[in-house]
């Protein structure tokens, strides 16, 4: 049991680190007006991977990048909007 708790705590630390990196990446994409669709979509996909763990707390990050992406590719952004 102690080993499982220890592993879960390690996983939480890794996920928290990934969340910080994703926040920085979203800020970078938006502030530098990055229009690389693959980079944006990969970031959206990575955020989606964390929705299970963070729920509502990560959706704001997802939607901020999604709103930015609508100016680049509205159809793809609409597709991503249906995922969450």
pTM of the model: 0.86
The residue that leads in pLDDT, 8 or 60, is 60
Sign of CA dihedral 76, 78, 82, 84: positive
Give dist(CA 2, CA 21) in Å, integer.
Answer: 29
- The tens digit of pLDDT for each residue in 20-59 reads 999 999 999 999 999 999 999 999 999 998 888 888 889 9
pLDDT at 75: 97
User: What's the rounded mean pLDDT across residues 7-27?
Assistant: 90
Q: Can you give the residue ranges of every domain in the chain?
A: 2-81
* 19 contacts: CB under 8 Å, gap ≥ 6: 50, 54, 58
Question: Can you read off the two tokens belonging to residue 22?
Answer: 């994703």
pLDDT at 9: 87
């Amino acid at each position: 049991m102690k080993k499982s708790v220890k592993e879960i705590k390690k996983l939480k630390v890794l996920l928290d680190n990934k969340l910080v990196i994703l926040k920085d990446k979203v800020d970078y994409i938006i502030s530098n007006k990055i229009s690389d669709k693959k980079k944006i979509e990969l970031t959206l996909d990575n955020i989606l991977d964390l929705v299970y763990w963070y729920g509502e707390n990560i959706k704001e990050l997802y939607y901020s990048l999604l709103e930015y992406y609508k100016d680049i590719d509205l159809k793809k952004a609409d597709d991503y909007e249906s995922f969450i």
